[in-house]
Each structure stands twice: as C-alpha cells, then as structure tokens.
Structure 1
Amino acid sequence: MKKFQSFYGIVIKIDDFLIDETGKSDGCYKLMSVQDSNRNVVNFVISPSTYFVDHEIIQIGDIIIGFYNANAAVPLIFPPRFRAIVIARDTPYRNVKVDYFNNELINTDNTLKLNISSNTQILLENGQLFTKSPNNRNLIVTYGPTTRSIPAQTNPYKIIVMCS
C-alpha cells in the first residue's frame, strides 16, 4: 500500500532528467528541485504519469506541494530524490490532500473527513466522471475550509480518484 508523504516549498530549478546511461534526455522526464523555508532541498522526478492538480504548468519561483510514495525505494543521495505522484501549486483558499480514504472517507492519519456534497466533482485522473463510490481508495482532494474537529471535516471542491 502506498503511504503518501509531502514536501512543500518553492521551485528553484527545473531540468531535463536523464533516464538511461546514454546521457541523453528524451524530454519526457524532468527533475524539479524544491526548497522549503528551512532551506532543505528535495528533488522530484517528474514523469509523464505525474498528476498536476488542475493541469497547471509549474515554473521556477512557484510554491508547490509535491506528494510521493514514502514506501518506495529511493537512492541514498543528497538531496533526496523522490518520484512525484502528484504536484499542486499553492493557491489561496485551496488545500490539497493525497491519501487513502476509508469507507467513511477518513484519511489514514485520521486528520480529514470528506463530506461529499452535490457540488463536489468526482473525476478520474483523465478528467472523466467517476460514477462509483470514492470510498476505500487513494484520492487527490482539493478543498477549502474545514471544521476544527478531530478529524477536521470538509466539503471538498473536487475529488480525483487514483485508479492505478
């Protein structure tokens, strides 16, 4: 099972990423360097399957949050290099959470409960409507205000179901 972790910071560099020994890049993979407020740096490998929330184009200077699988094997290098699963630009009044949500739509660390409303869009990663229940799945959730309860509750703006 995937355990999602995140890293939040400013994009300081974007380069082509070499995926084989020939030293050539096919242009389909990028290496995005992100620095947090404590000057810690993480490199995200961006692949064609990395999901960008709202399909936004990220540039140097943008503040982002990147999500990766904390259980995946990573090379022991510095700065750390993670395969990005989801990237989202920091946008006012919008929060993003990537996690597994159980049958009650509560995430794995019991910090967020989703209350689906008639205004909540539920989509697949390709933008098509998802017609089944989003329970017991890995989800990309965009939302605004939450309650001050444990877990916090919200009516999400959009839910993207991660089927893979």
Structure 2
Amino acid sequence: MINFYAFQGTVTAISDFGINPGSEGCHQLFTMENGFGSIVNFVVSPSTYFVDHEIIRVGDQVTGYYDGDLPAILIYPPQYPALVMVKDNPAQNVKVAHFDSQLVSSDQMLKLNLSPATLVLSTNGQLFTKYPANRDLIVLYGPSTRSIPAQTVPYRIIVLCPMNLN
C-alpha cells in the first residue's frame, strides 16, 4: 500500500535528468509551482504512469503523485519520484489512493460504486479481471454525492499492480 501525496501546479520547466549512463533521455525533471510560492521537482521515469498518456508541456496544469512514506533528500525545492502524473481536466475528477475491501479510499473521502459500465484496466491498458478492492487505484469519475465519504460511479479505474516479477 502506497501512501499517495499530491502536488498540483503549473509546469514551469522540463529538463533531462541523468540517472545512469545509457539512460539519457529516459528520465526528466518536471518543475512545478502551485501559485502560492511552493515549488516541487518531480523525477519522471519510464515507470511513471501518465493518465490518458497525456503529453505534458511547460504551462500545463498538472497533479503529480508520489509516495509520501519514502525518504526524501533534503534539498530545495523538494524532489520526489513521480508515480502518477495527471494533466488537469475540468471535465473529470481523478483520485489516486489505496482503496479497501469496501472500495473506500485510504483518506475516507471517496467510496466507489461499480457499475457494469465501469472500465477496470491495468496500467498496460488491458482489462483487469479481478475485483479491484484492497489495491492502489487511479479512479476517473464525474459527479459524486456530497456525503462523507462522497460516493461515485467511476468511469474508469486503473489498477496500479505491483511490479514484482518473481
């Protein structure tokens, strides 16, 4: 279970970020500013998931998600490995979180009510055939109730499967 933290802001710079010899061009540094003076650098790697495979450019409004439990190097601006990047779209809501057996998010703010029309996919774009409970999910949805937790019928769920190959 990942403890997802989010930072929302405008991308002010994108630059190549060298990790290892031979990986040139595979990693980038996205610098984002939130309008309140806070700046964050996200290290974007080949494993970073971009919702809808959007291409991000300088000037785009973006939300970046990272693991809030991982240690971070003590520099300014803070620098985090990006797990999920979402180009903001006023026509859709996105929640990235761990969802329990009742499909309630880890922050207790959103409950999912699945319908036959809810598309459940893995990160490779293939249908996910199991029940998505007790997993880290990217949820794309529209309207929700005003209750706590808010309830919604998601349009699409992307299951963030562990990358273990053993």
CA deviation after TM superposition for structure 1 residue 37, in Å: 1.7
The DSSP-based 3-state class of the residue aligned with 1:76 is coil
Q: SS where residue 128 of structure 1 aligns?
A: coil
* Equivalence for 2:82: 84
Which residue is 1:96 aligned to?
94
Identity of aligned residues (%): 52
Find the aligned partners of 2:156 and 2:57 in 1 and give their Cα distance.
24
Answering whether residue 126 of structure 2 is matched by residue 128 of structure 1, we say yes
Give 3-state SS (helix, strand or coil) of 2:131's partner.
coil
- The Cα of 1:119 is off from its aligned counterpart by 1.4
Question: Unmatched 5+ residue regions in structure 1?
Answer: none
Q: Deviations over 1:73-126 (max 9, x none)?
A: 211000000000000000022111111000000011110000111211100000
**Does residue 1:7 correspond to 2:4, yes or no?**
no
1:62 counterpart letter in structure 2: D
Q: Whole-Å Cα distance in 1 between the matches of residues 56 and 99 of structure 2? A: 27
Q: State the AA in 1 paired with 2:2.
A: K
Residue identity opposite 1:156 in structure 2? P
Length-normalised TM-score, structure 1:
0.96
* Deviation of the 1:39 alpha carbon: 1.9
1:160 equivalent in structure 2 = 158
Could you give the per-residue CA deviations for residues 33-88 of structure 1, whole angstroms, max 9, x where no partner exists? 01002021000000000000000100000001000000112110000000000000
SS in 1 for 2:108: coil
Q: Which residue of 2 aligns with 1:45?
A: 43
Question: Do the aligned partners of 1:51 and 1:85 also contact (CA within 8 Å) in 2?
Answer: yes
Q: TM-score, normalised by structure 2?
A: 0.94
CA distance in 2 between partners of 1:42 and 1:35 (Å): 7
Gaps of 5+ in 2: none
C-alpha separation in 2, matches of 1:40 and 1:28: 26
Superimposed CA distance per residue, residues 21-42 of structure 1 (whole angstroms, 9 cap, x where no aligned partner): x7x8610000000100202100
SS state at 2:52 partner: helix
In structure 2, the partner of 1:64 is: 62
